[in-house]
A = this chain, B = another copy of it.
Amino acid sequence: MSSTSSCLVTKLSHYVSLSQADCARLATLEKAERTFDAGHEVYQGGDENKDLYVVKHGWAFSYTDLPDGRRQIVKIHHPGDIIGFPDVALKHATTTLRTVEDVCLCPFPKSSLDEILRESPKLSALLLSIALRDQVVLIDVLRAMGRMSAQERVSYMLLDLISRLRITNPGMTDTIRLPMTQSQIADYLGLTNVYISKTFIRMEEDGYIHRDQNRLQILREDAMIELTDFHDRYADMDTSWFPQD
């Protein structure tokens, strides 16, 4: 299995150069493979926490429901992402994982982390950094949810998505495929499907975006960056303090 076949290695080596041994360690995480249809629930909140997953292709998301049915999507997963990482700290899954489209996932057991922590300080530092960077991103989302209007939130979401996709896909320009429904976008941004529709229409009229099928073009990225005070958290991390192998 060559390292180029692994989205995870692609994503992680964007930040720091990895030894052969470390690449091999990561590759073993993607040994197993399972495919799921669109709209399938892979595991549910409350389930015992057995596996983590690396996304090979397709989009998925994690969500929680309140008892009365209100739903909050907390994370959108793309190829190369590790799913279920936060739940490693706890005995039971805190979210439900649902596919957006047909998806291929690579499950691996929590205990694989044990080996990494014992044998590769550098990879440990990288995993820790990813976890901490994801915290920063969650904080950005929190800021959006707590203090931004609908249009600002939508803008923030689009900027975040395109920044993430650019990491593994450097050829990307200003157009993204957006396979999620407006109801799902609403559940991610803490709004309603109706208001997402109205906001998209408004943003299109105002020349911020252009929609065509499920493709979305960002026309005024700079204006949206200013509107939301957006910071790209993905482009680079501080790896200067990492232990050397």
Contact = CB atoms under 8 A, between A and B. Distances in A.
A190 B143 CA distance: 8
Interface stretch (A34-42, A98-106, A157-165, A230-238): A230-238
A49 interface: yes
Nearest to A141: B142
A208 interface: no
Oligomer: number of copies: 2
A90 interface: yes
Interface in A49-65: 49, 64
Interface string A75-100: 10000000001111111001100000
Contacts of A132: 85-89, 131
Contacts of A147: 66, 70-72, 190
A241 B114 contact: yes
A147 to B, nearest CB: 4
B128 A117 contact: yes
Interface stretch (A5-13, A119-127, A166-174, A196-204): A119-127
Contacts of A236: 91
B138 A89 contact: no
A112 to B, nearest CB: 9
Contacts of A145: 142, 145-146, 190
B136 A72 contact: no
Contacts of A111: 241
A80 B129 CA distance: 21
A216 interface: no
A186 to B, nearest CB: 10
A175 interface: no
7 contacts: A87-B132, A90-B233, A90-B237, A91-B238, A95-B139, A117-B121, A146-B190
Given A64-B143, A124-B128, A127-B128, 19 more contacts: A66-B229, A70-B147, A74-B139, A75-B139, A87-B132, A89-B129, A89-B135, A90-B237, A113-B125, A114-B125, A114-B243, A117-B128, A117-B243, A128-B131, A134-B135, A138-B138, A142-B142, A145-B146, A146-B189
